[in-house]
Amino acid sequence: MNRIDKKFKELKNKNKKAFIAFITAGYPNLGVTEKLILEFAKTGVDIVELGVPFSDPMADGPIIQEASQAALKKNVQLINILGLVKKARKKTEIPICLMTYYNPIFCFGEEKFVKDAVSCGVDGVIIPDLPPEEGRTLIKAANKHGLEVICFIAPTTSPERIKYISSVSKGFIYYVSLTGVTGPRQSLPADVVNNLKVIKNITGKNICVGFGVSSSKQVKQLKKVADGVIVGSAIVKKIKENLQKKNLVEVIAKFVASLNHV
């Protein structure tokens, strides 16, 4: 069983919801990214989402864009990130997803990417700019080798399309809480709870909410209706604010634990 499925099963048995932490791989460097993965595993994070730096991250807001640019300047590439996961796998079994745009996978080669990702210990992949209809060959290869392709549902997605996305998405479905890019928001959209209830009536798949989630209060609110909550920009922002601190990893781990302390 894939680590993501195993984790959701384990959480359901405990009547708990998943907390998913996103960080940009290679920001501020790959060594810190590895330490954060290991620390997150100790402090209650259920799944780690590693952002693959890309020059045109159209789904991401300014905070993650800046972190991506900083990692790219250090020449952090997909192959380095796979190596990082392989290294971390010697010390932890925490489920790890890659969030990447399609271009790095296309350049790497779909089949090679899937095989290498699985052999390095990657459990899932999230590709914001690859609609499932256009990703059939990748999804086929992923299903064959046990890599879970996680698809998106937006507030504007029709019930028919929700059914289709549900039929192809593995691991969990990523619900984008708002029509816009990533970034911390003071408040969540008024319709998010109702939208989640509608989706849950259509699909039995695990639904995790991301985009805009930035406080423990929001995490608590969303856990009441979703199967998991994803926090990214708020964590990356905290990394930026503490870059000069020697205890950066400890500071970020404490912040992430506080978000999930509900």
Catalytic residues: 49, 60
User: Quick count: other Cβ atoms within 10 Å of Cβ 56?
Assistant: 10
The secondary structure of residue 151, as a DSSP letter, is P
Question: For the chain, how long is the longest CA-to-CA vector?
Answer: 51
CA distances in angstroms from 246 to 31, 32, 178, 242, listed in the order given = 13, 11, 36, 9
β-pair type (173-176, 207-210): parallel
Euclidean distance between CA atoms 77 and 93, whole angstroms: 23
Q: Which residue matches tokens 């271009």?
A: 103
Q: Pick from 59, 67, 78: which is nearest to 23 by CA?
A: 67
CA distances in angstroms from 90 to 57, 84, 134, 172, listed in the order given = 30, 10, 35, 25
Give yes or no for a contact between 185 and 178, defined as CB atoms under 8 angstroms apart: yes
